[in-house]
Structure formats: C-alpha cells, structure tokens
Amino acid sequence: MFNGRKNRLYRSIFTAFSAASIIWCTLLPVGAQDLVPVSNISGGSSVFVFRKSSPPRRFTSSVRTSRSSEQRVASAKRVRKQYETHSSETAKKDRTPVIAPEKAATAIRTMKRQEASKMMAGSGEFYLQQNDLDNAVDSFREAVSLDATNSKAKLGLSDALARKGNSLVDGQKAPLAKSYFLESIKYDPKNAAAYFGLAELFADDNDNAQALANYEKALAADPKLTEIYQPLGILYYQQGEIAKADALLGKALALDPNSAETQVFVASIRLSQNRNQEALDAAKRALAIEPTSAEAANTAGDALVRLDRVKDAIPYYEKATTLKQNYFDALLALGAAYLETGDYPNAVKAYKGAFAAKNTSAEATEGLADAYRLSGDFNSAAGAYRNAATFMDRDATFSNQQKADTQSKLAFVIGQQCAINVRQAKRCEWPSAITAMEKAVKLGNGSAIDYANLGWAYYNAAQIDNADKNTAEAKAKTELARTNLEKALAMNPSFAAGPMLNLGMVRTDLGDYAGAAEILSKVVKDKPEWAFAWNELGLANYKLNKKSDAIQNYKRATDEDPNLAAAWFNYGRTSIELGNMGDAKKAYKKLVNLKAMNFANFLELMSKGAVKR
C-alpha cells in the first residue's frame, strides 16, 4: 500500500543496481569527442568526453623500405653465387690455370720468382675451387709477394679476399669483412663482389649515401650482377628517388617474376605511394609464388586495411602470425583490425601476442588496454593503460597529446571500474582518476576536454567522500569540479553538453538549485535523448519545490529510457508526496519488473510512512 507521507529525496540510495543499469553504454566504440555517460554512486550519470585520438588506431606496418637481416644474408648469397659463376667463366681466360698445391710446393723450390709466382697463383685457384678461402688468400698473397707484376695473381687475390669478406658478412663480423673488401679493391678496382659487400655493410649501418655509391660501383664493374637491382632499388626508395627505385625493381621482376621477396617489396612501395590495389595485387602474387611468406600475407592485410576492407584483412594477418611466430607487426595490425570490427576477445588475444613479442611496446600495450576497455574489463584496462603510459614516457616518438590521451582513458576506466567495485563492496579509486586527469591537463596544455574530464573526476570523487561522510572533503572536491568545468565551458567547446550536465549536477550538490535548473534546461534542449539529464533536471526542480515540473522531467526521462530505474524511483516518490498514488504504484510495478528491488522496497516503505522526510 502507498500513502502520501513525504520523505527526503536522494539522487539514488541504491548504487549497485543503478550502476549496473548504465554500464552498457560504455561498451560501445567511441569516436572523437564522444560524450559517454558514466554511472556514479549517487545513482546519476556524469558524462566523460573522449579525446580526438581515442578511436582504435590502424597499424599498417608494411610500408617497409629496408630488408631484414635474414633478407640481407639471402641477397648476399645470391649475389655471391652470381658473381662466382661469372668469375669462374672469366678465370678460364684471365686467370692462372689450376695447379695442385702439392705440385706447386715441390716445383717452386727450383724455380725463379716469376715462375714460382705463377705456380702459387695456380695453387690459389685450386683452393678457390674447393672454397678453402683462407688457403686461397695465403697462396695468392705469396704469389703476389714473389712477383708484384703478376696481374693474374692480383686478380685471384682480389677474388679470394672478396669471397672471404662476404663469408664474414654472413657471420656478422663486419669490421673484419670491411678490411677484406677494401684490400680486394686495392688489387682489383673493378671487383664487383667487393663493392657489393661494402654496400651491404654501409646499408646495415644506415649510411645510405655510401651504400648507394658502392652498389652503383658494383653494377658498373659487372652489369651482369642483376641480383643487385633489388637492394639498390629499395635503397633508392629510401632516398626518395621513386623513379629509380621503380625502374630497378621493375628490372628485377623482369629478370625473375617469380621472386616473392621482390614482389613483397614492390607491394610495400606501392603502399607508401597509396597505390593500395596495386600493393594488394603484388602481395597476392608473392603469396601465390611462396604461400609460406609471412611478409607477403602481412602486406596483403595492410593493403586491404588501406582499402577499408578491414574484415577481409584479418585472415591474412592470421596467416602471417601462424607462419611466423611472434610476428610483432602482424600481431599489432591484427589486434587493431579485430578492435575495429568489434571482436574484442580476439583483439585482446592478438595484442597479448604483440606484447609478448615486444614487451616494451606502448602501441601493443595501449591497444590491449583499448580492447580490455571495450570488452568491459576495466580493471585489466587500467593496468594496461598504466603500462602504456610508462612506455610512452620512455619513447621520445610519442607526442604529449598521445600521452594525454592515454592518461585520459586511464581516468575513464578507473571511473567505470567504480561501478563494479561498489557491487563488490570495494573502494573506488577516484583519487587515481584525478591524478591521471591532472597529468592529461598538463600534457595537453590545458585543453577544454581535459579540464572537463578533470571536473568529472573531482565530482565523482566527491560522491565517495559524501558516502563516507567526509563532508568537508566532499565540498572541497565539488568546488574543484565546478572550477574545472566552468574553465572548460569558458573555452566554448563543441561538446558543451557533457560538461554542462556535470556542472548542473555540481550546482545541485552545492545547493545552487536555480543555477542547476538553468544549465540542465540547456542540456536537455541540446540532448533531448539523454534520459539521465531529464532526471537531473527533475532533481533540481524538486529542490526548487517545483514538484509538478519535476514529475514532468522524470516522466520524460522514463519515456527516453524506460529502464532508467533512478528516474522511475524519483517519479514514484514525488508522486507519493503529491498524493498521486496511482502513478506511484505504476512506478513501483515498473521497478519490480526491472528487478530493482531496493528501489521498489524503499518506495513501498515510503508509501507506508515508514520512511520520514
């Protein structure tokens, strides 16, 4: 039974249900400057403003213009093989005939120096055929020392030194390899293999000017070394000489259209030129040639993302990560693709893989945090955002705006976790949210969004103090909320409705009911679909003793959101005070249907006069 006794009006006294009733709003993807309602322990919904960079970012890493160490080694082997083939052909007419070392050692004892030199050069050729490079170098050195005019011995020594240098490049002994290459050129200024080896070393040290010069010298010395076209083309692209890069890679493909590696590099360059369909075609050709190419699969995925076919890109990224364990670029892009298509569990999985591959990556950690946030795991999201912020602080490539964005999202998930903490009888961490937003304000140079969200954090922290009966602290934080919200609104932001709503709630809490009603009226005019704003306007009008207006506000709130339990409760209790028991009973039944039994039971107690105003 309901009766007409009056009792005190609260925004809400049953926090667990009201928090649960609103939390679904935050599981939707948000875009630039989206206004997201966040439930608070007083039963209302304050509004958080997302910054411009908050939507999930796409990662397309295949705009590659350099080769991996494995690709360098493979390229060097191909050039060396090509060079040795040409060298063997040349040796038949320009080099000393092969002589067995034992025969040479016996013969040189009785020979003159010039003849002995020829015998030792022949011994060097024997060792070259056996790929015994150390003995080949020693034999040719002795031949040259016996006769400094022996040009064939010098050519043989240059050849052996170049081959030795290239063998050391494979073993990552770059300084020693360089000394062999330089000595090789001393004996034969046209030794293409030595110039190529030097070019590889310079390229590995990112000395592109020297690398280019030596690649060109290698080609000039031996135009048949067509395996140089690919690395030289990539290097020209790095230097911004697109026409030369295209020409060289075109030649490389003309000579070997079945080179999956070259097709992948062509695809990468096409991506950088925003010729995305051509990039996709080249990547698919590479996959047709070499189905186990993880790089080709990843590049195809990147091209599809560029073509706004994100869902189609996912199988390619999955293939890349299957073919190559801990493939960071592909895992990062896969996480972003899943995030964009709304598959948050798989986004979490992919980002975890990316983080495992590179556990100091801010991109992987922030992506993981975004995936946790959008899947509703706010506690895990908070931890991940904290890690991302730490990694960003260590990386000069991240701007202060990016860092501010991460701090802002950290504050948001801390606030969202509060609703869960309330249901679990745990303390909310609003002071940590305030700290995060203060950092965002500083990093973002005091933007309107950050001031608005700092005010939001102070307002919600004050609600905790009120619940703990820390009246003085609650008032101090509420006043700080007002200061920051007014500062944000003074900047005339396009997203004014959010901070205006929060300011209206702050004014209500500070006893400025007329000011609250004034600003909340503007909010509902701008955002008539915001049920929670109509509820807040109703509370302000109630405090102004405009109960009929309050009833209309609550009714509009329930029309906009029939499941907003707090509005039904306020409608019911105000109806009791006005003596409209039929409307109060209607509200009671609705609360029962919503399984908001705390609200329903309290309303029934009011109707019986068990709760006094």
Three-class DSSP labels, 76-114: HHHHHHHHHHHHHHHHHHHCCCCCCHHHHHHHCCCCCHH
Q: Residue 283: is its pLDDT beyond 90?
A: yes
CA 102 to chain centre: 64
User: Do the domain assignments include residue 110?
Assistant: no
Pick from 268, 257, 354: which is nearest to 303 by CA? 268
For residues 140-153, average pLDDT: 94
Max mean pLDDT range (104-113, 196-205, 536-545) = 536-545
For residues 297-302, average pLDDT: 96
Q: State the Cα–Cα distance between residues 96 and 155, nearest whole angstrom.
A: 9
Q: State the Cα–Cα distance between residues 221 and 472, nearest whole angstrom.
A: 85
553: Cβ contacts below 8 Å, ≥ 6 apart: 534, 535, 537, 538, 541
pLDDT-above-70 percentage for the chain:
88
Q: State the Cα–Cα distance between residues 92 and 11, nearest whole angstrom.
A: 98
Lowest mean pLDDT of 168-172, 264-268, 297-301, 442-446, name the range.
Answer: 168-172
pLDDT-above-90 percentage for the chain:
64
For residues 118-130, average pLDDT: 92
For residues 515-539, average pLDDT: 97
The pLDDT value recorded for residue 562 is 96
In this prediction, residue 558 has a pLDDT band, given cuts at 50, 70 and 90, of very high
More confident residue, 580 or 30: 580
Phi, psi of 359 (to 5 degrees): -85, 15
The pLDDT value recorded for residue 87 is 64
User: Do the domain assignments include residue 198?
Assistant: no
For residues 61-66, average pLDDT: 53
For residues 409-417, average pLDDT: 94
In this prediction, residue 12 has a pLDDT band, given cuts at 50, 70 and 90, of very low
The pLDDT value recorded for residue 395 is 92
The pLDDT value recorded for residue 57 is 58
> In a 10 Å sphere around its CB, with 0-12 CB exposed, 13-18 middle and 19+ buried, how is residue 297 labelled?
buried
Q: State the Cα–Cα distance between residues 200 and 169, nearest whole angstrom.
A: 8
More confident residue, 366 or 110: 366
For residues 80-99, average pLDDT: 72
Q: State the Cα–Cα distance between residues 474 and 506, nearest whole angstrom.
A: 11
Lowest mean pLDDT of 125-129, 318-322, 520-524, name the range.
Answer: 125-129
Q: Residue 65: is its pLDDT beyond 80?
A: no
Q: What are the CA-CA distances from residue 119 to residues 90, 106, 159 (Å)? A: 19, 10, 17
Q: Does residue 36 sit in helix, strand or coil?
A: strand
User: Do the domain assignments include residue 123?
Assistant: no
Q: Residue 226: is its pLDDT beyond 90?
A: no
Residue-wise pLDDT for 465-507, tens only, equals 988 899 999 999 999 999 999 999 999 999 999 999 999 999 9
User: Do the domain assignments include residue 338?
Assistant: no
Q: Does residue 548 sit in helix, strand or coil?
A: helix
Three-class HEC string of 474-525: HHHHHHHHHHHHHHHHHCCCCCCHHHHHHHHHHHHHCCCHHHHHHHHHHHHH
In this prediction, residue 203 has a pLDDT band, given cuts at 50, 70 and 90, of confident
More confident residue, 586 or 242: 586
Number of domains in the chain: 1
The pLDDT value recorded for residue 335 is 96
Token pair 């001393």: residue: 186
Cβ atoms < 10 Å from Cβ of 377: 19
The pLDDT value recorded for residue 608 is 83
Q: Does residue 37 sit in helix, strand or coil?
A: strand
Mean pLDDT computed over every residue of the chain: 87
For residues 197-225, average pLDDT: 89
User: Do the domain assignments include residue 230?
Assistant: no
More confident residue, 293 or 53: 293
Q: Residue 439: is its pLDDT beyond 50?
A: yes
Q: Residue 89: is its pLDDT beyond 70?
A: no
The pLDDT value recorded for residue 287 is 97
Q: Residue 31: is its pLDDT beyond 70?
A: no
CATH code, domain carrying 539:
1.25.40.10
Q: State the Cα–Cα distance between residues 407 and 399, nearest whole angstrom.
A: 13
In this prediction, residue 170 has a pLDDT band, given cuts at 50, 70 and 90, of low
Q: Residue 15: is its pLDDT beyond 50?
A: no
The amino acid at 395: D
Residue-wise pLDDT for 239-259, tens only, equals 888 888 888 988 988 988 888
For residues 401-412, average pLDDT: 95
The pLDDT value recorded for residue 573 is 94
User: Do the domain assignments include residue 235?
Assistant: no
The pLDDT value recorded for residue 332 is 95
Which DSSP category does 66 fall into?
S
For residues 576-601, average pLDDT: 93
Q: Residue 7: is its pLDDT beyond 50?
A: no
Range of 391's domain? 15-60+361-607
User: Do the domain assignments include residue 50?
Assistant: yes
Pick from 82, 59, 78: which is nearest to 70 by CA? 78
User: Do the domain assignments include residue 201?
Assistant: no
Give the containing element (helix H, strand E) for 598: helix 597-607
Q: Residue 78: is its pLDDT beyond 60?
A: yes
565: Cβ contacts below 8 Å, ≥ 6 apart: 17, 18, 21, 591, 594, 596, 599
The pLDDT value recorded for residue 421 is 82
